[in-house]
Amino acid sequence: MKKILFLIITAFLVLYAAYFAGVYYLSFSEGTRSGELIKFSKKGVFFKTHEGEISQGISGAQIFQFSVEDGKKEVIRKLEDYQGKYVKLTYMERYATFPWLGDTKYFIIDAKLEHSPHFSKE
């Protein structure tokens, strides 16, 4: 009986570890999005996570919400500096997320300043 209980608990722990590793390391998609960085903050009650939004259209017609992991210090610093500017974000979309990682499935890998197409000199 103890051997069966041990095997069930071990199988449960292995499945949980595989699920966590899959959610964390496997990406559903990767890509870039551009827009005006309208919000970037650290929020949460139990788990403080970095969350942000970019506006991808004129007058906020389409909002892209994203998260940034705590380990990405350089990306966090860039986004704090780029507040209110037009940016290009490189992201990784995960299948799911955990509360201590962020609120969204979109995690920013890199951020760059871009020239706004709405105010180009042509």
Return all residues near 53 (Cβ < 8 A) that are at least 6 apart: 37, 38, 39, 40, 63, 64, 65, 66
**pTM of structure:** 0.78
What pLDDT does residue 20 have?
Answer: 87
Q: Is the Cβ–Cβ distance between 116 and 65 less than 8 Å?
A: no
Q: Is the Cβ–Cβ distance between 68 and 108 less than 8 Å?
A: yes
Classify residue 35 by its DSSP letter.
Answer: E
Express each pLDDT in 64-85 by its tens digit. 999 999 889 999 999 999 998 9
Which candidate, 40, 22, 34, places its Cα nearest to that of 89?
A: 34
Express each pLDDT in 5-33 by its tens digit. 999 999 999 999 998 888 888 888 999 99
List of domains in the chain: 27-117 (2.40.50.140)
Q: Which two tokens stand for residue 19?
A: 């699920």
